[in-house]
Amino acid sequence: VPAATPAASARSRNPRGQGERLRQELIDAASQLLVDTRADEPLSLRAVARGAGVAPQSVYLHFAGKGDLVAAVVADRFAAMTRAGDAAEATAGDPVDKLRARCLAYCEFGLRHPGHYRLLFDSRATGQLDPPAFPSPAGAAAYTAFLAAVQRCIQAGRAPADDAAAVTASLWAGLHGIVALRWSKPGFPWPAVGQLVERMLAGLVGIQHRPGPDEHPP
Amino acid sequence: VPAATPAASARSRNPRGQGERLRQELIDAASQLLVDTRADEPLSLRAVARGAGVAPQSVYLHFAGKGDLVAAVVADRFAAMTRAGDAAEATAGDPVDKLRARCLAYCEFGLRHPGHYRLLFDSRATGQLDPPAFPSPAGAAAYTAFLAAVQRCIQAGRAPADDAAAVTASLWAGLHGIVALRWSKPGFPWPAVGQLVERMLAGLVGIQHRPGPDEHPP
DNA sequence: TGTACATCAGTGAACGCGCGTTCACTGATGTAC
DNA sequence: TGTACATCAGTGAACGCGCGTTCACTGATGTAC
C-alpha cells in the first residue's frame, strides 16, 4: 500500500499548449499500476491520478470518466501487445517459425505483464469497459494476425489443410490457457512454456515438430 | 444494483443449537451472488450478509474475516465442480468417452457458472484467498481426475504413449482457454464448444475422432 | 510599450456511498438447583 | 414446580477508509489593442 503522498510530487504543470501530454501520462501511470497487479481490486481513478502526480479531478480534463480512462488503457496495451507480436514474427523467415515466434511472444507478453494481459483478456477486467462493446478493433487485429500466420503455414504445405479459423480459435484458446492458468495456479508443476507451445502447434495446427538444439527428447 | 433492504428480510433466527446453519447459508448466498457476476468488483462481505438476510457482523460468528469466507466459498464450489465431473464420467463406459465427458462437463460448468469458474481459476479471484497457498487440495483433486482419465486412455491403447502429465497440462490449458476466452470475448465467432473439445482431444491427447450422429463433417 | 482580457492547466473542498471490522448489547432458550 | 443463571444466535451503532464525481476557483501565459 503506497503512502498517501503522491508518487510524483515533483510534477510541474505542462507548458501552455501541451495539456494533452497529461493524457498519455495518465495512461502510462495506469499501465504502471497494472504491471504487477495480482489483487482483485479494479483499477482506481484516484490511484491513477496519484501515480501521475495530479489531483483526481484532473483526470476529467482528458477522460469522460473512469470507464473512458480504462478503455484508453486497453487500447494502449493492445497496441503494445500487437507491436511485440509483429516484432517477434519479423525476426523469423519461415512460416512455421513466424507462427511459433508469434505464439511465444503472446505467451511472453502475458507472463511478463500479467496485469496488462488480464486487462485485455480477463472477462472480469474487460467487464470494466464502458461501453462493453465486443469485439474491439484492437482485439480483432490480434486474432487476424494469428489467423494469417496459420494460413501461411497451410499454404506453404507445412500444416494440413483444415478450417483455418477453427484451428486459430483452438490455438488461441490453448495459448490463453498456458498463460492464464500459470498465473492462477503458480504452485502447479507446469511444463516449460516452450514445450506447451510446441504441443499446441503440433497437435492443434498439425505442424511437425523438429527437435532443436536445446530440446532433449526422452 | 439491489435495493438497500435485505434480500431475505423474512429470515428468522436459527433455533438454539443450529447456529452452524448460518455458515452454509452464507456460503450459499455468496455462491448466489457470484453466479452471474460479470463485473470486476470483488465479492463483498456486506453483500453476502445482505443476501443471507443478516447483519454484516454476523459473518464473524462463523468466519475469521472476508478472506476466510472466500476460502470457504472456493472449497464449496470446487466440490460442486468435482461432483459434476465425476457424475459426467460415470455415465460413460469407454475410457475415451469418460475423458470426453469430463472435458465437456468442465466446459459446461465454466460456461453455465462463470462467476464460480472465475473464483476457482481466475488469478484475480484466487488472489483474494487468504492465505494465498497453492495448490489447494481441491484444485489438485480436479487435476488428478483429468490425469487419471488420460492415463486410462493411454493404457487402453486409445491414445499414443506420451508424458501423461504434460498431455494433461496442455489439455487443461486448452479447456481453460475455451471457457475463459468465450466469456472474455463474447462477440467473437467461436466454434461450438464440442468441436473445440474434440480438437483438443484429437490434437493434444492423440485420440482418433470418430464422427458421432450429431456431427456433420464438411 | 503598456494594459485589459481570454485562455489554459490544472487544484481546493466537498458530496454521498459502500466497504471491512470492532465493541457493546439484546432477547430467547435451555439447564442447575 | 419455580427461579436464577448460562448459553446461544444474533443485532445496534459506530469507526475510518478509499472511491467516483461535481462545482467553484487559481494563477500563469499568451493575445488584442
- Say which nucleotide is closest to residue A22, CA to C1' distance: C9
Angstrom distance (rounded) from CA B88 to CA B74 = 21
Contact A50, A6 (CB under 8 A): yes
Angstrom distance (rounded) from CA B42 to CA B26 = 16
pLDDT at B9 over 70: no
pLDDT at B4 over 50: no
* B28-70 pLDDT tens trace: 999 999 987 766 788 999 999 999 999 999 999 999 999 999 9
Which residues in chain B are contacts of A125 at CB distance < 8 A?
A: 40, 124
Contact B205, B167 (CB under 8 A): yes
CB-strand contact A12/D, under 7 Å: no
Inter-chain CB proximity B166 and A195 less than 8 Å: yes
Maximum Cα–Cα distance for chain A, whole Å?
66
Q: Is pTM beyond 0.85 here?
A: yes
pLDDT of residue A35: 87
Three cell numbers, residue B24: 452454509
pLDDT of residue A210: 59
Q: Range with the lowest mean pLDDT among A27-31, A87-91, A166-170, B142-146?
A: B142-146
Q: What is the mean pLDDT of residues A70-87?
A: 95
B9 at A interface, C-beta within 8 A: no
Residues 6+ apart with CB under 8 A from B166: A191, A195, A196, A199
Inter-chain CB proximity B189 and A114 less than 8 Å: no
- Distance from CA(B84) to C1'(C20), angstroms, rounded: 34
* A141-151 pLDDT tens trace: 889 999 999 99
Contact A106, B181 (CB under 8 A): no
Could you tell me the pLDDT band of residue B142, with boundaries at 50, 70 and 90?
confident
Strand C protein footprint, C-beta under 7 A = A 11, 13-14, 16-22, 53-58, 61; B 4, 15-17, 42-47, 56-57, 59-60, 65-67
Interface test with B, best of A34, A121, A199 (most B CBs within 10 A): A199
* A153-182 pLDDT tens trace: 999 999 999 999 999 999 999 999 999 999
- Tell me how many degrees the CA angle B29-B34-B36 measures, rounded to the nearest 5: 125
Angstrom distance (rounded) from CA A107 to CA A199 = 14
Which residues in chain A are contacts of B170 at CB distance < 8 A?
A: 174, 191, 196, 199-200, 203
Angstrom distance (rounded) from CA A126 to CA B187 = 12
Q: How many CB atoms lie within 10 A of CB A136?
A: 18
Which residues in chain A are contacts of B42 at CB distance < 8 A?
A: 40-41
Angstrom distance (rounded) from CA B193 to CA A159 = 23
pLDDT at A8 over 50: no
pLDDT at B109 over 50: yes
- The residue type of B48 is V
* B163-203 pLDDT tens trace: 999 999 999 999 999 999 998 888 899 999 999 999 999 99
pLDDT of residue B123: 72
pLDDT of residue B2: 38
pLDDT of residue A128: 56
